[in-house]
Chains A and B, each alone.
Chain A
Amino acid sequence: EAGVAQSPRYKIIEKRQSVAFWCNPISGHATLYWYQQILGQGPKLLIQFQNNGVVDDSQLPKDRFSAERLKGVDSTLKIQPAKLEDSAVYLCASSLRSGWGNEQFFGPGTRLTVL
């Protein structure tokens, strides 16, 4: 079974530029998550989708971050404009359904450096 795919793996941009990350979850997984992992910290949930609807985006900085999951499969996370403090690894995860009993499977992440 293929795992969660993410691209690009690395991205370097200057502040105030825009950037987008792509995630393809495990086939059949209804729930998709985007996490931000700043160096030296654990992952922090940014947004959670159930199929193509948002169920939790309480920690997403909505003035600059946006995410969509068209057709309930792939997802894109965008930052516009980027700030220095956005430098982090962005992890995508998926699970069959939402809720505590469903294991989340993580992709390898996209490492973003903002100069």
Chain B
Amino acid sequence: AQSVTQPDIHITVSEGASLELRCNYSYGATPYLFWYVQSPGQGLQLLLKYFSGDTLVQGIKGFEAEFKRSQSSFNLRKPSVHWSDAAEYFCAVASNSGYSTLTFGKGTMLLVSP
């Protein structure tokens, strides 16, 4: 069965500083990986996704993520955080067969300090 681990429950970053959110997955074959963001009272919004090819994926709002098969990781990065980035971030994995159900991690809450 597929699973996702996000080791950090909360992260606080100063505005303008760089950000890296960690995600580790467990899946027996090539995974399909996603990062979503959820602002308070809002639904989830897709930031980026990885299916194959280039292991560095660019997304919306200046985010990028790197797929590392050897480490079973798909960490999310942003070079300079803005106060509006404060939200909860979810990593998810989907199987590459059948109806491809999404399995989410528990999320990382990002706090941005002035």
A interface residues, Cβ below 8 angstroms from B? 3-4, 40-45, 48, 50, 55-56, 91, 93, 98-101, 103-109
Asked, given contacts A48-B101, A98-B100, whether A42 binds B106 with beta carbons under 8 Å apart, the answer is: yes
Q: In the complex, are the beta carbons of B92 and A42 less than 8 A apart?
A: yes
Cα of A105 to Cα of B6 in the assembled complex, Å: 22
On chain A, the residues within 8 Å of B42 by CB distance are 108
Check A42/B101 contact, CB under 8 A, given A91-B44, A100-B51, A108-B43. no
Interface residues on B, range: 20 to 34
Contact of A48 among B49, B99, B104, B107 (CB under 8 A): B99
Q: Are B43 and A107 in contact (CB-based, < 8 A)? A: yes
Given the known inter-chain contacts A100-B32, A100-B51, A101-B51, please indicate yes or no for A45 contacting B43, CB distance below 8 A. Answer: no
Report how far A43 CA is from B37 CA in the complex, Å. Answer: 12
